[in-house]
Amino acid sequence: MTVCWKVSAASSLAEISNGISLDVGAWNLDVSSVMSAAHKHTNRLTREKSPYLLQHAHNPVDWFAWGEEAFAKARVENKPILLSIGYSTCHWCHVMERESFEDEKVGAFLREHFVSIKVDREERPDVDKIYMTFVQSTTGGGGWPLNVFLTPELKPFFGGTYFPPDERYGRGSFLSVLKQVADVWRERGIEVAASADEITARMELATSQKPAGNKSLSAEVIRQAGNLFKESFDPQNGGFGGAPKFPQPSIPSLLLRCAKRFHDAEATAMVLHTCDRMAAGGIHDQLGGGFARYSVDAHWLVPHFEKMLYDNAQLAQLYLDAFLASSDARQAETVRDILDYVLRDMTHPDGGFYSAEDADSEGQEGKFYCWTHDELSKLLAPEEFNVAARYYGITKEGNFVDHSHPQPLQGLNVLSLVEPNVPEADTSLLASAQTKMRAVLTTRIRPHLDDKILASWNGLMLGAFAHASAVLGEEKYRAAAEKNLAFIQTKLWQPPIESAITTSTLFHRWRDGERDSVQLLEAYAFQLDGVIHLYEATLEPKHLDFAIALAEAMLAKFYDAENGGFWQSAGDSKDLILRVKGDYDGAEPSGNSVATLALLKLAAITGRADFRSAADATLQLFVTRMEKFPQAVPYMLLALDFALGEPRRVVIAGDVASPDVKRLLRAAHAVYQPNKIVMGNTGAVEEFVRTLPAKDGAVVYLCTGNTCQPPTRDSDKVKELLR
């Protein structure tokens, strides 16, 4: 959302730093290396569990975590708040830490004139959303680190992203900005506070949403969105738009649905070409597996090397759909590559999935992943080197320079598939070279691992593992999904306790033996999506029961019964100046979009009218946004596509543990049919489905509404009917 307004007294503050703000268009400038300062200083962030906050625990800044202790100090001492938001794998966050927050003068000035608060945006996306909206609205850009100045009542009056330590590009230094903000607060504090009140009121008005009447929802909205995305397609490199290039899996996922709905072969070709080019590019870790955050170029070659759990979860789902739509085994191999990487490098021993891996190693971006010509020529036999150099495009000059470091390494090569068609005679040489290269990687210093476990992102990856287990028939992926869900239920789920609470509670973050107390829509919605995938992959009634419990709790805590849609945070959140409804499907889909599609599916499985009505009301709330700005809500458009017709219900009747049920499940998931649900005939399924019996063993009923095809136990017949 972009909102513009005059800022009165706060506008003079914009002149202080010459409008300073690193305009990254709300993209993550992420990477990281934790450059620990000597422990000359220790602040209260040592009490925290967030890896990002702990990275700042020995700054000379007197940091507080977000909470009443900091707020009370600001009120009592009448000091403005410096709110600094980032995350542990954010490269520019750590640049600013080294340059400014480790500086003794900056620390001393902040201690005297400000109350300084650090927030991990991944733990508190609700806090980040409010103040990012302010900065984007007043500066035209956003990103991380996000640095915002607040009144003691938490209302923003000035902010930006990265502030340099000295005058650069005609802009003032961070310390000079701090001094002038402190002066303005001291000399014009009443005026600044009044302006902050006005800004907050306008933010509340700008972020409030009302349904646009009872509009008719039609497939034309989806067609127009698909045409818009097709116009931005890069026919040479794949993807949509130019550099920097982000995968944005919701967009190709929507185009695959357009291809199915409108018989658009061109849309399918665009998606498959995009998947091929991404998989061949440097954004894809060719040796270690998984995908980096984005590429800085239009060719998918040079990545911003950090790997995020949510990106890889969404990409695994996209490549599964691409495999089903094309029957191209390369797409399935990419899925395995992603999930095997997560199992190896991103999974807690008890089953939770970690959040991210950094881009920097030993203070250098990409050092862990890149190779020089000389290094490889010494490591490999000459014939191995010749094959590997052609395959990966290794040159003496290299293709990557870390411009963010004052002493960049020279001649680095990001691996990509430059000549992927290796002659059969050379395949063993390439395999031998890869084995040696992987062995070297085990001796390198790995990038920082953000090992916090978030219910939200775990829900996305849970769904990817569950879906992959059904499509690919991989038992280890089903086992990983089951283990992950058990972790979340044990560590982050609290069922009702008669004497204390009446609604189940899903907490957001677990790390190092402790969970937080935060309530976020994304946690419930993303988990709900993942659990529905797991139910469809296993037909276990207990998973359907848990999905229903999640949905009921989500509706109780976040649903706006008056206007439709879901609040990002629960109503009892005392530390937020606004309640907002997320309406942007960017790097992560919004909680509203995921909740809507999940509720539509759950309503079709259970027959629960309350689930369907909440989903329909949410679509009505966002219909104008889907019509006028579809690029902001591609995942919501997936939900609209599902809502427009009666979904196909694949009902498998029989013992869920039997080999026949597993065989028929595999057949049910073997066809790209996005608007289908797969369900059993027992447990909390809707009433009609419970009347469909097994017949001398497991059978499949393919139904639309209450009309079903004759039952079959023929796997090929199931696939034929679904097509």
Domain ranges of the chain: 9-207, 369-443, 646-723
Q: What is the per-residue pLDDT across 22-57, written as a single tens digit (0 to 9) for each?
A: 232 233 333 333 334 447 899 999 999 999 999 999
Q: Is residue 282 within 8 Å of 295, Cβ to Cβ?
A: yes
% of the chain at pLDDT higher than 90: 85
The CA distances from residue 388 to 202, 283, 427, 677, in Å, are: 58, 18, 10, 44
The answer for residues whose C-beta is within 8 angstroms of residue 435's C-beta and 6 or more apart is none
Taking Cα atoms as reference points, which of 655, 354, 295, 390 lies closest to residue 511? 354
Least confident of 36-45, 116-125, 375-384: 36-45
What does the alpha-carbon distance between residue 399 and residue 366 come to, in Å, rounded to a whole number?
12
Strands (E), 229-346: 294-295, 303-304, 307-308
The CA distances from residue 334 to 271, 330, 468, 478, 561, in Å, are: 14, 6, 11, 18, 42
> In 143-246, where does DSSP find H-type helix?
174-207, 219-231
Domains 9-207 and 646-723 share a fold: yes
In the numeric block, the tokens 């862990």 are attached to 368
Q: What is the per-residue pLDDT across 612-663, written as a single tens digit (0 to 9) for each?
A: 999 999 999 999 999 999 999 999 999 999 999 999 999 999 999 999 999 9
Q: What is the per-residue pLDDT across 70-82, written as a single tens digit (0 to 9) for each?
A: 999 999 999 999 9
CA atoms 585, 586, 590, 596: torsion sign: positive
What does the alpha-carbon distance between residue 473 and residue 336 come to, in Å, rounded to a whole number?
11
B/e letters for 149-182, b = 16+ CB within 10 Å, e = fewer, are bbbbebbbbbbbbbbbbeeeeebbbbbebbebbb
What does the alpha-carbon distance between residue 204 and residue 81 come to, in Å, rounded to a whole number?
20
The answer for residues whose C-beta is within 8 angstroms of residue 138's C-beta and 6 or more apart is 7, 10, 14, 158, 159, 199
B/e letters for 314-343, b = 16+ CB within 10 Å, e = fewer, are bbbbbbbbbbbbbebebbbebbbbbbbbbb
Taking Cα atoms as reference points, which of 300, 376, 318, 307 lies closest to residue 344? 307
* 409: pLDDT strictly greater than 80: yes
Taking Cα atoms as reference points, which of 376, 396, 399, 378 lies closest to residue 388? 376
Residue 458, token pair as written in the block: 């775990």
pLDDT band for position 153 (cuts 50, 70, 90): very high
The CA distances from residue 604 to 401, 537, 655, 679, in Å, are: 52, 16, 22, 10
Antiparallel, parallel or unpaired: β 676-680 and 648-653: parallel
Q: Is 32 helix (H, G, I), strand (E, B) or coil?
A: coil
Burial of 382 (0-12, 13-18, 19+ CB in 10 A): exposed
For 81, phi then psi, to 5°, come to: -105, 130
The CA distances from residue 72 to 76, 419, 579, in Å, are: 6, 62, 21
What does the alpha-carbon distance between residue 226 and residue 264 come to, in Å, rounded to a whole number?
10
pLDDT band for position 573 (cuts 50, 70, 90): confident
What does the alpha-carbon distance between residue 67 and residue 84 come to, in Å, rounded to a whole number?
14
Domain at 9-207: CATH architecture: 3-Layer(aba) Sandwich (3.40)
Higher pLDDT, 342 or 362: 342
What per-residue confidence (pLDDT) applies to 124? Answer: 96
* 502: pLDDT strictly greater than 80: no
Residue 213, token pair as written in the block: 């009447």
Neighbouring-strand partners of residue 277: none
pLDDT band for position 403 (cuts 50, 70, 90): confident
Residue 463, token pair as written in the block: 């769904």
Q: Is residue 648 within 8 Å of 673, Cβ to Cβ?
A: yes
Q: Is residue 19 within 8 Å of 170, Cβ to Cβ?
A: no
Antiparallel, parallel or unpaired: β 509-511 and 115-120: unpaired
What per-residue confidence (pLDDT) applies to 500? Answer: 55
What per-residue confidence (pLDDT) applies to 501? Answer: 57
Q: Is residue 336 within 8 Å of 379, Cβ to Cβ?
A: no
Which CATH fold would you assign to the domain 646-723? Glutaredoxin (3.40.30)
* 599: pLDDT strictly greater than 90: yes
CA angle (219 as vertex; 214, 220 as ends), nearest 5: 90
* 313: pLDDT strictly greater than 80: yes
Kind and range of the H or E element at 650? strand 648-653
Taking Cα atoms as reference points, which of 311, 310, 326, 340 lies closest to residue 276? 326
What per-residue confidence (pLDDT) applies to 169? Answer: 64
Least confident of 506-515, 570-579, 604-613: 570-579
Q: What is the per-residue pLDDT across 224-281, written as a single tens digit (0 to 9) for each?
A: 999 999 999 999 999 999 999 999 999 999 999 999 999 999 999 999 999 999 999 9
What per-residue confidence (pLDDT) applies to 24? Answer: 29
* 203: pLDDT strictly greater than 50: yes
Residues in the chain, overall count: 723
Largest Cα span, the chain: 85
